[in-house]
Structure 1
Amino acid sequence: MKSKLLLISDSRELFWYCSRKLSGQCEILHSKIQDYKKVLLLAEVLSVICVILDTSSLDSSATHEIRDFVADNFDCTFFTVDSAFGPLPLEVESLCPTHQNEKAFLIESPSPPFYPHDKKNHVKLLEKFAAHEEPVLLLGESGSGKSHMAEVIHLNSSRRERVFVRRNIAELNPSLIESELFGCVKGAYTDATDRKGLFELAGDGTLFIDEIGELSLENQAKLLGILDTGKFCRVGSTREMQVRCRMVFATDADLLARTREHTFKKQLYWRLAKFVVKIPPLRERRDEIVPLALEFARDVGVKLSEDALSFLESQDWVGNIRQLKFCIERSAVLADTKTLFERDLIL
């Protein structure tokens, strides 16, 4: 049975953060500051072994009162955090609850939040696929976070210390895509010089190619050859080179429909479809809206009020994560204060 830790705080962000950092180690219970006595009276039943008090909205006398109440009535570790200036990052010297040989817990400095502690199926798939070397195809609406998911694969793979190279096919000049991917040799075409393509630049790392559905049929055939043989040639050269990188592809297009329209090769589709992860749109991942919004707000130096968070959580976000990010950035620029309320949000 997991040990239970009680967080006394009025901050939803702090509760989410603690839950994320200690997931798998203990269960986090949350009490509003005004309700702490009522919740603590259940501590014996709940087996609470540690109490965290958020002091950001309390004066010293109130903090001492709660500390004394806990010390007089309960056998558990107690410490405080001050989230007044952030509330992230948390500066916690130690969090070491011990109970029946339970190991110590530590809240570390936060990394940007993305997932709640109960990971979704697509995240679990990403982490499983990361352990293998086969190419992975990420499918999802525009702005749903496919680029971030590709990084998740890279960071959970044995190549995490190597380079991560990303390129969006739709952003490339169609006449230069072949040399961008495979490189070229001097004289291959007018003004051509010896240059490495993405497959060489990625080396032993990970190559992420976004909008793979926009690749021409000719280059699709060459990519299929690379996937089948593990070898490629620079444009203008007949010398074969070995592919060493791990490949991840992404698209918001319906590739299967495109195979029926003969604009995407069936052989390539089924080669890529061996390991597919479908990324749900943000409206189907509502428990990520608040942590994402808090991350984006922190990046631009503002805070979000409770009513702002509730409003953001209620929206459908047809533009997914990208729309949410732009909403926070736009609202932060136009607002007159450093705390955004619902009235300040511009969708």
Structure 2
Amino acid sequence: MIIAGGPAAFNPEPLADFIDTFVIGEAEEVILEIVKIVQGAEGIEHRAKSAVLKELAKIKGVYVPSLNSSRLPARRTIGGSLEQYSSSGHESILRKQSREDKGIALLEQYCVEKRIIKDLDNSFFPTDIVVPYIQIVHDRIGIEIMRGCPHKCKFCQACKIFHPLRIRSVDRIMEIAEESVKNTGYEEISLLSLSSGDYPHIEELAGRLEEKFKPLGVKISLPSLRVSTFEERSGIDTLRRAGLTFAPEAGSERLRSTLDKKITDAEIIEKSRGALNSGWRKVKLYFMIGLPGETFEDLDAIASLTGKIKNVNLSINPFIPKPHSDFEREGMEDLETLKGKQRHLCSMLYALCSRAKA
């Protein structure tokens, strides 16, 4: 039996022909219910797989594609309409959509409600994770301090699929941190969420972590922060040892406003310089290229903004439209266009570096 879940499962149909069961939503509780049913089925000789799938489909948050009678593959015709076919691929059985409907099949499907963990404090969190023999990318303890996000950036899938916002208490985070360090021996803890700067008790948490783990030589790091939520009051010694990442996403204020990232160039410059001056080891800025409505002036703005900060690392990635985000229907730019934008941006940054060295 093949079971899938996580963010990719929020658009399950492209993989539905290959997956027996999808978990829609958060797995901490539902995975135990699935295991219980599957384990029970193992004791029954020759129990049909279809019978097990029917039992799994009764669980809230579980989608079984084979039981969805309205799940029919679609093919676009030359005229712009859609023809629907049965799963056997032979019999044409359903409607054709008009151009006005943009070819989207409006089929009645059985509803699967997303599974949500209401209380993070009482949900399971692993503290005895496997420590690999080799160094890996995220070679540290990761503790989720908050799930969901109070912001609604138009390109963001995560703020939609992890809604609503839920907070893990400082006491529970400290318990997880102490147990994890004891069980793994890791020397770094990363505080994870979609927007850690919006965690309402960040100062209290950082202070308690510093008090507990600084004598042990354990570093505390934060993931990408919103510029608007970073304050220099968060300048705690253990945090300053690690890097800090801001995510402006776009180089110009005009383009950022279309993303609902309402931060100014002045704020980005002020916060980045302030972080470096207050002891942070390095600052990284995260941008995307190929965003809807982007022009070459927006690319130039990335280089211009970077030059005003100096001593900053850049992470630049192509925009990919995500299901359930406001930009899900926007197209992704073709490879050659993206390569052209990369070359243009690189030339601007190289020129900037050359002037700085002169």
TM-score bracket for the superposition, by shorter chain length: under 0.3
More relative contact order in 1 or in 2 (CA 8 Å, sep 6+)?
1
Task: State the TM-score, normalized to the length of structure 2.
Answer: 0.27
TM-score normalized by the length of structure 1 = 0.27
